[in-house]
Structure 1
Amino acid sequence: MKSVPPVSGLSRSAGLVAVGTFAVGLLLWVCGAFTFFSDHDAYPWYAKLVLLVAALVIQLSAQLRPAAAFAAMCVLLGLDAWWGPSLPLWIAMSDIVFLCAARGSPTVRRVVVATSGAVTLGLAVAGVVVGSVQVGILIGLVGIAFLLSPVTYAQSMIAARRAVEAEKAAAISQAEADRTAALADERRRLSRELHDTVAGHVSAIAILAEAARDAADPGPIVDSIRSNSLAGLAELRAMIDVLAADGDETTTVRWSSLDPLIAAADAVGSTVTVDGDPAGLPRRTEAVLTRIAGEALANATRHAPGNPVSVRVEVDVDHVRLTVSNRISATPRGAGRGSTNMAIRAASVGGRAEGGAVGRVWTVTATIPSRGDSRAGETP
């Protein structure tokens, strides 16, 4: 298991703490509080200066070698115990314990925690034996303050750091999942666009070409083939323009875009009757109605050529209802991608669409809000 990586800026702050501890030691020296017991200060001035410099060097080395610094400080405190003990050294030890617990390996942290606990307990017991219970308790509290409290603070800091890293990793993972979902949605949208812009016109062209081979006068059928080819190309160009644009423009179609599909149906004997017009409705609503009606017309021409087709648009205050019906020549094989696309188109503006057979008549119905839907959705 790797050690916890250092926090950015910890090396600089650790250096400042080491220098600050050195300055505090000088102040304690000036104030006569260099040792815990002012009546037991056996150090000459040069010895105190050596101790402060040694503590500074050990603290600075703890940034790179926390285990070696902890061991060196334990030796220094052991030597200081008889002539001191010196308060600046214990302050420096507190900082080294923190660095070991915060930046050391798991093994180093366990050794530091065990040693700090053992030293605290040993000093408390020694205080009770040499002095009294009160002395033992006070010494134990001092050990807790200088040795165990830094460990607790370091562990809290590590936990907070790991929580931040976990949140960051979760945010990155969520962003990647959102990106993947967005790409999948975009692929599905483009698939529906290609289906709607190409499949209907190409199917009509194939049916018309088949009919033109046996027609006595193929001229009108050829004209319809050309009309569907041009309409399909125009919609493909519009889609390419949207994909190449920098903005978020949406591809829309008008009700008049049904004319080539109506002409193709008429050319193979499927007379189309249109009753109603979504003129005056929002462009998005009109585009959805056109897409659904175009898919229904293409399916009727493909699967039931020669049978009349009825297209009815009814608009009231709140909703617009589209009904496309035609007689069927054989039992339908079930809903395909077109039926799914129609339902998705209607749902994109808060409506619904479905198709099915009633007797020998296949009917597609779509009901959507007549004033559109304000929700952000896919391109109709």
Structure 2
Amino acid sequence: MTFTSRFSLSRFSTARFSTARFSLSRFSTAGFSSTTVSALGTLVVGVLLWASGAFTLIPELGGHSTPVTAAILVVGFVAQIVAPRRPAAALAVAVVLVVLDLPSGVSLPLWISLTDIVFVTVTVGAPRLRRVVAVGCGLVTVVAAAVVALAVDPRTGVLVGLLGVAFLISPLGYAQSVNATVRAATAERAAAQAERTIALVDERRRVSRELHDTVAGHVSAIAILAEVARDADDPQPAVASIRANSLAALAELREMIDVLAADGDEAVTVRWSSLAPLLAAARAVGSQVVVRGEPDRWPLRAETVLTRIAGEALTNATRHAPGEKVTVELAVDDRFAEVTITNRVGPESTVGPGNLPGAGPWVSGRGVHNMKIRAESVGGSATVGPEGDRWVVRARVPREAR
């Protein structure tokens, strides 16, 4: 058999085997790992080449005896099995065998094993080892082709170069593709984890706002009303208001628990009428509360946001300026819905224990922040602060709140 025909056979065998090897490597069969499957495939191909008389690429150089041929197949098989755990050692063994085998005619199964070991080394090896293997494979291919072209003839040099590409450069390309896929998958998982973390943080903040707005307002009102009931000649109005705020807090907590337990992206929604217990609490501590405007034409989401903001403002006024007049004004036009809560800053006004030091009355570190976050979450805005002798909370959101 001529060198050219042997080269054609080797290309056919290598291409067919490579396709089978890379396909089989994706699966496990009867408990075998992909490495074992690949090594067994190489062993089977080697036996078939041996039986067909195509074991060596250049039989004119003498080939091997039967024991040596069997030893080559066994050592190549073992090197492939070891390669994923000891890539450097397996590669060193394969290279030594290839060099020792060259004078005897180039054993094709040994080169197929080398191809697989190069692939595994570049896939699982350390970065430095990968670079060494890549440079080495490129140099061996170019130098071997050049030497044979000068020593024999250019045509044979080209064929040797193509063999180098088939057995050394191709597995490098496959390995780089696998590495790129692994890096992309790792980056995708990292991005998904980051998105999940952000989503969890956002959800915790949302739950925190809901709990603050659901519980804090009513509980604060209950505490204030308990003080009023203790000192009042007639505690019945305060007691009734305590009961109303307790029931309202329980109802809103149940609704929130139902939403959190449900599937989907449901949101806690409240209507303007849910402010009734807070309005009653403000009146029970002696404040005159005036409500102007009608919420009938409000979209539900805008109504929910502005109700929460108004509830926080009423709670702060009840807590820090009891007995002062409170005005709640509603305004709705074709584009915006707005609520303004105003109360006079009286001489007995205080800064609550959870407020920001030096920031002035009612500037709660969490409550005021939540007001602004709620308004901004639907594309609106909220301002909180003193205007003369009054404290004003003003929130404005689009009617079609996003």
The TM-score bracket by the shorter chain reads 0.7 to 0.9
Q: Quick check: 1:170 aligned with 2:195?
A: no
Q: Which moved more, 1:117-126 or 1:232-241?
A: 117-126
Letter in 2 for 1:293: A
Q: Which moved more, 1:102-111 or 1:183-192?
A: 102-111
Distance 1:155 1:325 in 2: 74
Distance 1:215 1:223 in 2: 13
For structure 1, list consecutive stretches of 5 or more residues without a partner in the other structure.
Answer: 1-5, 130-134, 374-380
Q: Quick check: 1:372 aligned with 2:401?
A: yes
Distance 2:188 2:393 in 1: 44
> How far has the Cα of 1:186 moved from its partner?
1.8
CA, structure 1 residues 188+123, in 2 after alignment: closer, same or farther (shift >3 Å)?
A: closer
User: Which residue of the partner structure matches residue 239 of structure 1?
Assistant: 256
CA, structure 1 residues 111+348, in 2 after alignment: closer, same or farther (shift >3 Å)?
A: closer
> Quick one: which of 358, 363, 373 aligns to 2:387?
358
Q: Quick check: 1:342 aligned with 2:371?
A: yes
Matches within 5 A, 1:57-72: 57=74, 59-64=76-81, 66=90, 67-72=92-97
Compare CA radii of gyration and give the structure with the larger one: 1
**Cα displacement string for residues 283-338 of structure 1 (whole angstroms, at most 9, x for unaligned residues):** 22211121111111111111111111111111111111111111112552645311
Matches within 5 A, 1:72-151: 72-78=97-103, 80=104, 85=105, 89-104=106-121, 121=143, 125=147, 128=150, 135-147=152-164, 150-151=167-168
Distance 1:112 1:224 in 2: 80
Matches within 5 A, 1:132-211: 135-147=152-164, 150-211=167-228
Letter in 1 for 2:392: T
* TM-score calculated relative to the size of structure 2: 0.74
CA RMSD of aligned residues (A): 3.5
Distance 1:246 1:260 in 2: 30
CA, structure 1 residues 77+58, in 2 after alignment: closer, same or farther (shift >3 Å)?
A: farther
**Cα displacement string for residues 191-231 of structure 1 (whole angstroms, at most 9, x for unaligned residues):** 11111111111111222222223322222122112111211
Distance 1:124 1:115 in 2: 14
> Quick one: which of 288, 291, 294 aligns to 1:274?
291
> How far has the Cα of 1:240 moved from its partner?
2.1
Q: Which moved more, 1:153-162 or 1:335-344?
A: 153-162
Please give the secondary structure, in 2, of the residue aligned with 1:367: strand
> Quick one: which of 199, 206, 213 aligns to 2:230?
213
CA, structure 1 residues 27+309, in 2 after alignment: closer, same or farther (shift >3 Å)?
A: same
Q: Quick check: 1:12 aligned with 2:12?
A: no
Q: Which moved more, 1:16-25 or 1:277-286?
A: 16-25
CA, structure 1 residues 141+94, in 2 after alignment: closer, same or farther (shift >3 Å)?
A: farther
Q: How many residues align?
A: 347
For structure 2, list consecutive stretches of 5 or more residues without a partner in the other structure.
Answer: 1-23, 27-33, 83-89, 350-359
User: Which residue of the partner structure matches residue 3 of structure 1?
Assistant: none
Q: Relative contact order (C-alpha < 8 Å, sep 6+): which is higher?
A: 1
> How far has the Cα of 1:26 moved from its partner?
6.3
